[in-house]
């Protein structure tokens, strides 16, 4: 197993990345996985909270496949359920099946705000459908999003969510900027508002009275580091959106089944009009869903609003989701208590190390969703995207991530990306990671 002093480069991984670029565009299947400052790493397999690269090196994994692996890699309950389903019934039947009815019923037990729901395969898909639903139900076109929040790559919502501060609106809100080449004029109906700033939202809603279909948010911002809502912020937003005649959409792709069994809506006791779940519910299998009240979902139920998907609700992912939901329904008290304890252990341990070494830092977390960031000076916490942009030392984070990756601890090199803990991360694993984090800090942060 590599140690902190083991600074070998992953030669085989490097070679494979070169080979990958000959057939996979950019060498991978997602822009976020092949950033120019990623150290080459081709991974063969995972188990629990660890992965092994093509060179056979072992890593403690704090990326958890960008969040889905709430129970870790290859959890036996999930694997057994999927294998049984495929072997005995088939991966995909293409008909209504009792399995997906059961899974929907179990989702509803945890998310009572979803009286009716539909399964799909990715967060992007479910969110695009939810936005269409909000527009159809209200007969309005404008959608409000928040700076730094990400809602998938569809033309319905994809905008420049990681814009440099100079490109952000000078006022309380502004029009969305295109997030990629090839976007037509889709972001035209998208307004971007500052997070944790009720006055900014009030002004935006006021200026667009009668035309806002919905406000969509990650109830805990998890795509520009972890930024929880201020106290009472969610309730305030909900009240303002309702007063304005629009709908509140919670994108719980990250928070769902992670910060509580019932997601951020349970944690903060704020119940949105439309909810989207993905990631943790499939524990590594591609599933998402969107749902709402009977009244809102009647447009889908009656076929007035089109929603389809060849793979939606297939047996493979339903079997995975049923295993996840059963485990959570049965053991939720212990699962979340332990996830929150591990989150505290990691953030407190990191903060203690950096304090001792005199490295300016900030940690922000909600249970197993964690950000550990370096700052340009002492800061008292980060409340919105602008503050992250202004105060976080992204270069230092990359340097540190490279040192940690070489020592066998993996988290994403982009400081915007949170670390994800799973039930497979035991106290001893966190201690092991903290030891290496301290060594890594001593080796690369004291310049």
Ligand X SMILES: Cc1ncc(COP(=O)(O)O)c(C=O)c1O
Residues 265-294 that bind ligand X (CB under 6 A): 278
Tell me which of 106, 151, 399, 412 binds ligand X, using CB under 6 A: 151
Tell me which of 223, 275, 363, 371 binds ligand X, using CB under 6 A: 223
CA distance 96 to 363: 46
Q: Is 251 a catalytic residue?
A: yes
Q: Is 80 a catalytic residue?
A: no
x/- string (CB under 6 A) for ligand X, residues 329-368? ----------------------------------------
Closest CB 229 distance from ligand X, rounded Å: 14
CA distance 364 to 196: 15
Tell me which of 148, 152, 282, 313 binds ligand X, using CB under 6 A: 152
Compare residues 163 and 244 and give the one whose CB is closer to ligand X: 163
Catalytic residue (choose from 55, 61, 197, 251)? 251
DSSP 3-state assignment of 392? strand
Taking residue 133's Cβ as centre, other Cβ atoms within 10 Å add up to 26
Q: Measured at the alpha carbon of residue 412, what is the angle toward residues 386 and 168, in degrees to the nearest 5?
A: 20
Residues 86-125 that bind ligand X (CB under 6 A): 122-124
Report if residue 147 touches ligand X, rule: CB under 6 A. no
CA distance 395 to 374: 9
Tell me which of 55, 61, 218, 322 binds ligand X, using CB under 6 A: 218
With CB under 6 A, what is the number of residues at the site for ligand X? Answer: 14
Compare residues 265 and 278 and give the one whose CB is closer to ligand X: 278
Closest CB 163 distance from ligand X, rounded Å: 17
Report if residue 253 touches ligand X, rule: CB under 6 A. yes
CA distance 112 to 266: 10
Closest CB 251 distance from ligand X, rounded Å: 5
**In terms of Cα–Cα distance, which of 288, 244, 283 is closest to 134?**
244
Compare residues 158 and 397 and give the one whose CB is closer to ligand X: 158
Closest CB 256 distance from ligand X, rounded Å: 9
Compare residues 10 and 150 and give the one whose CB is closer to ligand X: 150
CB 411 within 8 A of CB 64: no
Catalytic residue (choose from 279, 396, 397, 400)? 279
CA distance 367 to 346: 10
Residue nearest to ligand X (CB): 123
Taking residue 153's Cβ as centre, other Cβ atoms within 10 Å add up to 17
Closest CB 227 distance from ligand X, rounded Å: 13
Piece of 176-184, 248-256, 308-316, 325-333 that binds ligand X (CB under 6 A): 248-256
CB 159 within 8 A of CB 179: yes
Strand order across the 409-410 sheet: 43-47, 50-53, 58-61, 409-410
Tell me which of 254, 280, 354, 424 binds ligand X, using CB under 6 A: 254
DSSP letter for each residue of 348-380:
HHHHHHHHHHT--EEEEEETTEEEEEEBSS--S
Catalytic residue (choose from 111, 150, 233, 336)? 150
x/- string (CB under 6 A) for ligand X, residues 374-413? ----------------------------------------
Report if residue 55 touches ligand X, rule: CB under 6 A. no
DSSP letter for each residue of 295-322:
HHHHHHHTTSS----TTTT-HHHHHHHH
Q: Is 150 a catalytic residue?
A: yes
Helix-, strand-, coil-residue percentages of the chain, each rounded to 5: 40, 15, 40
CA distance 234 to 248: 10
Interface positions with ligand X (CB under 6 A): 66, 122-124, 127, 150-152, 218, 223, 251, 253-254, 278
Q: Which residues are catalytic?
A: 150, 251, 279
């Amino acid at each position: 197993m590599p140690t902190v002093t083991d600074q070998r480069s992953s030669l085989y991984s490097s070679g494979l990345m070169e080979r990958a670029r000959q057939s996979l565009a950019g060498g991978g299947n997602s822009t976020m996985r092949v950033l120019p400052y990623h150290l080459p790493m081709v991974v063969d397999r995972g188990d629990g909270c660890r992965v092994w690269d093509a060179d056979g090196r072992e890593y403690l994994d704090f990326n958890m496949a960008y969040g889905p692996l709430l129970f870790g890699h290859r959890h036996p309950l999930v694997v057994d359920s999927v294998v049984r389903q495929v072997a005995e019934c088939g991966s995909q039947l293409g008909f209504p099946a009792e399995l997906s009815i059961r899974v929907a019923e179990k989702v509803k037990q945890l998310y009572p705000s979803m009286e009716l729901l539909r399964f799909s395969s990715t967060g992007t898909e479910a969110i695009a459908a939810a936005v269409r639903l909000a527009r159809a139900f209200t007969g309005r076109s404008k959608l409000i999003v928040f700076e730094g929040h990400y809602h998938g790559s569809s033309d319905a919502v994809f905008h420049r969510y990681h814009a440099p501060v100079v490109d952000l609106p000078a006022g309380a809100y502004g029009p969305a900027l295109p997030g990629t080449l090839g976007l037509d004029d889709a972001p035209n109906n998208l307004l971007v508002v500052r997070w944790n700033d009720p006055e900014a939202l009030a002004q935006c809603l006021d200026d667009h009275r009668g035309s806002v279909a919905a406000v969509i948010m990650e109830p805990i911002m998890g795509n520009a580091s972890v930024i929880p809502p201020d106290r009472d912020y969610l309730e305030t937003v909900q009240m303002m959106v309702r007063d304005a005649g629009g709908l509140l959409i919670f994108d719980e792709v990250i928070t769902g089944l992670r910060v509580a069994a019932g997601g951020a809506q349970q944690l903060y006791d704020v119940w949105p009009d439309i909810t989207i779940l993905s990631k943790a519910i499939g524990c590594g299998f591609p599933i998402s869903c969107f749902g709402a009240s009977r009244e809102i979902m009647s447009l889908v139920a009656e076929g007035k609003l089109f929603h389809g998907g060849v793979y939606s609700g297939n047996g493979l992912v339903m079997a995975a989701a049923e295993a996840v939901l059963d485990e959570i329904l049965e053991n939720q008290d212990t699962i979340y208590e332990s996830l929150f304890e591990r989150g505290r252990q990691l953030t407190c341990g990191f903060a203690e190390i950096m304090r001792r070494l005199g490295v300016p830092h900030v940690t922000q977390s909600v249970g197993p969703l964690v950000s550990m960031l370096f700052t340009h000076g002492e800061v008292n916490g980060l409340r919105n995207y602008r503050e992250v942009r202004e105060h976080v030392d992204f270069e230092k984070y990359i340097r540190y991530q490279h040192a940690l990756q070489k020592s066998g601890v993996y988290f994403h090199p982009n400081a915007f990306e949170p670390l994800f803990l799973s039930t497979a991360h035991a106290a001893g694993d966190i201690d092991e990671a903290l030891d290496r984090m301290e060594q890594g800090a001593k080796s690369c942060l004291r310049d």
